[in-house]
Amino acid sequence: MTKRSGSSRRKKAKQRAAAAAYPPWILLERHCTEEIHGSSSSVADTKTRAAGRTAAGSQISVALSAAVPPESSRVCVQVQLPNGVKLQHCTILAAHGDSVLIDVTVKEDWKGEKADYFVYSAGDAAADPPRPPSLLLLPPLPLTEEQDREQRQQRFLYRDDTGLLRRGEDDELLVAQLRMERADKEAAPELLMFRSGEWSIRRPLFISNGDGMEPDLPQSWYTRTAVPVGDRLLCWSDQLHGVVFSDVFDENPTLRYVPFPIDSPCGFKVCATTATAGGDTLKLVTMYPRCCCGDVGASKCPRSLHAYTIKTWMLRMEDMAWVMDGMVDTTEIWALDAYKGFPRVGLDDPVVSLDDPNTIAFAMCEDHHVRHGGDSTVRLLMVDTRTKTISSVFCYPRERQYFRFNLIPSRVSSYLNPSYPSQGNGGTSSPSKIDMDSTSEAPPIIVK
């Protein structure tokens, strides 16, 4: 009896260990790891591999190499190309739920570049029966009338303006690219969407903020990032002026512009987090260089060289108000035991944790701030802005230091765990729906 009981405990322990084999969320490098087709020395986990074919018929496979943050994770791509065709790049454009949007661009001798767009899905190991990973090739993108007149061969998606959504209710897939053209000094948005298996081009309208006036989108607007908020909303940001929201699953999607709460000399990093009490929402992170006297701005004062104040805001979805919820100074971080021996320079490239909205991953590299003689070592730090502590540090291998820029938070790894609660490929709850009614009152701006 005792032996059977011990065996049962060991079996359950192994099951628990197997169930927790993949982290609940990961930080994906933008650039995929390109491997030789059929290579047996792949760094990827073979259990995560999915195979397919390019538009030209070449074999391609995609797999994950997942790691616990702040260590970054990789998407590994193997593609078998014919002679005369060269792989230009493999890049992650967006991620949401169990899915990752991948750009695989090749170039043939004496011809231009050609891009194939794939959606890698981790499936759902917790479903009954389990769904294995899969790879979907998206159909060719449609050309606009202007592009057709110019006899362009192909339209391209870009990481700055393209977002991906997986809706948990019915596993519906949506890809959207928002381009903000200018016509007579006014914004002329164009929304390219892949939905229900086909592409379409929309000309969405900006709605009023409630004052009867059209929203004043800055003429210097330049889209820098697209992030999902819940499983219905996409948000585009230019990192200087504000964000543009759209309920892209609406039959006639509109756009709403929400300015940032205050001006920032360094701009804002817009991150989505799923770890708030009210569901999914947006988080802003900005870093202000400062002097020891308290003035804002870069300083050459020895006592405040490279000193920054980090501030964070959350967007209250019900009334679209920004609420400042955190502030920490780099000098407080430098004073921690966990920081001893590291260069006293500013932190870069913040990414908010999907498990804790107060925890942010930062990159730190002396060479980025000191032009001559700075240490080129890149480290990723997990910083809790509420307790002002460092929970963990990852030192980037030198051969991969370039890839630490613009890491993408994703829950794709969680769908590989048999114990993860199955809730559709979206895997997140919808936030409070933005009031897209033009008669609504203008939201207040709140800064604590």
The per-residue pLDDT of the chain, averaged, comes to 82
| Confidence check: pLDDT of 434 > 80 | no
Residue 151's pLDDT is what?
A: 55
Q: Please write the tens of the pLDDT for every residue from 86-109.
A: 999 999 999 999 999 999 999 987
Averaged over 346-357, what is the pLDDT? 91
185 pLDDT more than 80: no
Q: How confident is the model at residue 145 (pLDDT cuts 50, 70, 90)?
A: low
DSSP conformation letters of 16-43: HHHHTSS-SSEEE-SB-EEE-TT-S--S
Distances (CA, A) of 218 to 180, 258, 266, 407: 11, 11, 17, 27
- Short-list 387, 167, 351, CA closest to 273: 351
Domains and CATH numbers, the chain: 20-145+159-416 (2.130.10)
* Residue 207: pLDDT over 70: yes
CB 22 within 8 Å of CB 413: yes
pLDDT attached to residue 438? 38
pLDDT band at 116 (very low <50, low <70, confident <90, very high): very high
pLDDT, average across residues 55-81: 95
Distance of alpha carbon 127 from alpha carbon 124, whole angstroms: 6
* Stretch 26-39: mean pLDDT: 87
105 Cβ contact list (under 8 Å, min separation 6): 87, 88, 89, 90, 91, 113, 114, 115, 116
Cβ–Cβ contacts within 10 Å for residue 66, how many? 25
> Mapping DSSP to helix (H, G, I), strand (E, B) and coil, where does residue 233 land?
strand
Three-state secondary-structure class, residue 415? helix
Q: What is the pLDDT of residue 157?
A: 96
Count other C-beta atoms under 10 Å from residue 275's C-beta. 17
Instruction: Report phi then psi at 146, rounded to 5.
Output: -65, -45
Q: What token pair was written down for 232?
A: 């219905």
pLDDT in tens, 42-63: 788 999 999 999 999 999 999 9
Instruction: Provide the token pair at 376.
Output: 């080129």
Given a contact cutoff of 8 angstroms between Cβ atoms, the answer to whether 294 and 301 are in contact is no
227-264 residue pLDDT tens:
999 888 999 998 888 899 999 999 999 999 999 887 76
The percent of residues above 70 in pLDDT, for the chain, comes to 75
On the question of pLDDT at 388 being above 90, the answer is yes
Q: What is the pLDDT of residue 6?
A: 52
Please write the tens of the pLDDT for every residue from 394-412: 998 887 766 667 899 999 9
Ramachandran category for residue 18: left, alpha or beta (phi over 0 → left; psi -120 to 50 → alpha) = alpha
Check the CA dihedral 88-133-30-19 and report its sign: negative
Q: What is the pTM of this model?
A: 0.86
pLDDT higher than threshold 80 for residue 428? no
User: Which pLDDT tens digit goes with each residue over 286-309?
Assistant: 888 776 655 555 555 655 677 888
**pLDDT the model gives residue 109:** 77
Mean pLDDT calculated for residue range 33-39: 79
In angstroms, how far is CA 409 from the centroid of its own chain?
Answer: 5
Mean pLDDT of 210-231: 77
- The answer to whether residues 423 and 348 touch, using CB atoms and an 8 Å cutoff, is no
Which segment, 54-68, 138-152, 182-196, 311-325, is predicted with the most confidence on average?
Answer: 54-68
User: Please, which contacts does 365-373 make with residues 24 or more away whose CB atoms are closer than 8 Å?
Assistant: 365/401, 369/306, 369/345, 370/343, 370/345
**Phi, psi (degrees; rounded to nearest 5) at 5:** -65, -45
The pLDDT of residue 318 is above 60? yes
Instruction: Report yes or no: 189 and 176 within 8 Å, Cβ to Cβ.
Output: no
Q: Which helix (H) or strand (E) holds 145?
A: helix 145-149
